[in-house]
Amino acid sequence: MRGKQTVRDLVLSMAAIGVVVFGIYFFVPHSEGDPVKTVGYSVELGQARRDAPYAVAAPVGLGKDWRATSVTYDATDPKAVAWHLGFVDPQEEYAAVEQSNAEAGAFVEAKTYGAKRSGSRTVDGVTWAKYEGPKYDALVREASGVTTVVTGTAPFAQLAELAAALEERGGQ
């Protein structure tokens, strides 16, 4: 009988839907623990160090609390070969190593999301340009046509720790 629904029918329908939702929630597995996926990067690093027209930077001796979360190597354009290695630091902040032989200004702008130069900082005897921005801060070094950017949401102390751990090898 259409038009004769009651509040009781509504409550019974809602209860039935609730049982179904509870069953789905209870029986479908949930991801537990850390939602940040850790990745290995030795294969990509080896390829980049064999192929890149510059010495590729990667950290050596970072603490075990630093976790690699992303890695890419793009050599499709020989004038803009790009290396990226992203991390989550011990305080769960993002930090990345970005390297390229592309035009430095545009590369820095893109990788720092528009951060502006705000001075310099010496890390293990090497002077890096310091950039501050609304999204990312960065340490930037240009040498022999290659720009290395250590950037992210991590504080400058953590960016400096990552920069100090970088070891450049390979290149043609």
Instruction: Give the model confidence (pLDDT) of 30-48 as tens digits.
Output: 556 556 788 899 999 999 9
Angstrom distance (rounded) from CA 102 to CA 83: 11
pTM for this entry = 0.79
Whether residue 170 has pLDDT greater than 70: yes
Q: Which of 27-41, 127-141, 157-171 has the lowest mean pLDDT?
A: 27-41
Rounded distance between C-alpha atoms, residue 144 and residue 54, angstroms: 9
Higher pLDDT, 71 or 24: 71
Higher pLDDT, 19 or 136: 136
Helix, strand, coil percentages, rounded to 5, for the chain: 30, 35, 35
114 CA to centre of own chain? 17
Cβ-contact 149, 140 below 8 angstroms: yes
Averaged pLDDT, 18-38: 72
Higher pLDDT residue, 18 or 77? 77
Fold of 42-169: Phosphorylase Kinase; domain 1 (3.30.200)
Q: What is the mean pLDDT of residues 108-131?
A: 95
**How big is the chain, counted in residues?**
172
**pLDDT of 157 strictly over 90:** yes
Kindly state the average pLDDT of the residues 146-163.
Answer: 97
Q: Which of 135, 130, 126 minimizes the C-alpha distance to 166?
A: 126
